[in-house]
Structure 1
Amino acid sequence: MGTAAGLVAVLGYYVAVSVPDLRARTAAEKWYPSNFAGWDELAQATRMELGRMPEGTRVVAGSFKVGAELGFALGDPRIPVLDHPLNHKHGRAPQLNLWGLQAAPRSEWQEVPALLVMASSDVPYKDLLKRYHRMCDMVGPLPPPRVVNVDHGSQRFLLFRLDASVPALGTCTTPAMAWVDSPVSGATVGRDFQVAGWAFRDGVGLERVEVLLDGAVVAEANYGLENPGVADYWQISNDPNHPRVGFTATVRLPGEVEPGRHWLGLRLHGSDGAVETWREQPVEVR
């Protein structure tokens, strides 16, 4: 009886995570099923980017998981993979070497256009900036990415176009990093509330931060406030704006926003014109 109940529970879980709307509702939960999320959206975005790039563009994966999923979706079992802690943790690094799928240094394929695809959620957030800098070591400064946020950004993919215009050497530039200090995830807020946090982008810095609710802009943040603790924590960060990377914003919700759960997010504008949408967090509007 217990075995049958367990089987029903497991099958029910897999059914639930296969339904996009149900899965998205768990986006802020610790048990969010990231291994099952976003691969169709990533494959679609990859096809679209390849369609905009020169014929012969190669796909390079940021980890073995991305390589395996894209290989299946695109019908290409020979996608090279960058070195990644996941490859070693799961014992895939020796296999990739044996199969000839360990990506060579970019200096060996710089003349061939490539689409580099990574999942930023493949590493803990505290290690993400180190991962970006390690990628700079392997492929050079990272150009502005196409961001694919799935389930409010709980699964987040970045696609980088690497062609002859992108240098293989130079100061490390990375995607943006951000955090909302208040309100915290799941907080209850009134129709007028304050948002505070920080954001930076290595190599070039940020120019503006917009606050979003359910994907719509609800406030322009006052960006550039002093927050020296950010550079103290992210010690390798080379954002030229440090320590002025803090922001605050006052949100005044219009009448058509109904009480209940909504998703608070950020849109980050780089000084080079690049725009990235950050992951969202839930708030309960009274």
Structure 2
Amino acid sequence: MDERRELHTTIVEVGPRDGLQNEDRILPAEVKIELIERGVAAGITRIEAVSFVHPARVPQMADAEQVMAGVPRPGGVSYIGLVLNRRGLDRALAAAVDEVNAVVVATDTFCVRNQGVTTDAAMDAFEGIAGAAAEAGVRCGITIAAAFGCPFEGQTPPARVAELARRAHAAGAREIALADTIGVGVPGQVRDLTRRVRAAAPGLPLRFHFHNTRNTGYANALAAVAEGVTVLDASTGGFGGCPFAPAATGNIATEDLLYALHREGHTTGIDPQAVAATGAWLGDHLGKPAPALLGRAGPFPAPAG
């Protein structure tokens, strides 16, 4: 028996948040809710559904409470709300998210542009967020953004990422996500950061968030899986990017990642063809074709009949 068939990879669908936050066209709440409903129907069980940031900063996410009020609530599905500060956490808790995910950018210049504070100040805020979330009984994770490189400062020192992971672990983070926010990483960095962060935050679940800006996102995802990482972020259709980083485009597409993982023998519990259909549907709503390729090329082997 092929032992790979026993491996399961969890996909965190970030399309409703990261996939939409950089788009010129702001979709109404009912379309965002349908996007989430389609993902749940396809078998996705963890969804970053909303972001509780100031609407003046990211107007695409201004209706977070309305979206959370309308999402389906089947058993086994967990909704994540992204927060940057205590005000965002309070909104997230009031909206009844299942998890919160705080973001800390690994470089000061980008962190100031993204959330108005230095990296150290953002980590101080995270410590308060993690403690308050724990008191509320809500799982709290952290994304260390620009973990591979920064558009303003260049290469991000790996030791800096490891130190942030150590602080996150000490603060009570339940999961650490490393984000290649501008899509500059390569598999060797994935292997190095995985090992450094595991040493700095022993026993803490690790996930990765890759962008395919320079066509390395899927190679990086497979490198992470080869290191034993079992949770990866992806965005239906391959939409997404950061409004505060120049040319930060191209989340890895959920359907294309599913194709690669399934062909490698991993299970996900998600129907890639259903996700591909949703990617095309989302492209229609955004007024441009989805960057993902599975919906264009089709599955292989082709379905019988």
TM-score exceeds 0.5: no
Larger RCO, structures 1/2 (Cα 8 Å, 6+ apart): 2
Q: Which has the greater radius of gyration?
A: 1
Q: Per residue, is there more helix in 1 or in 2?
A: 2
Q: Per residue, is there more strand in 1 or in 2?
A: 1
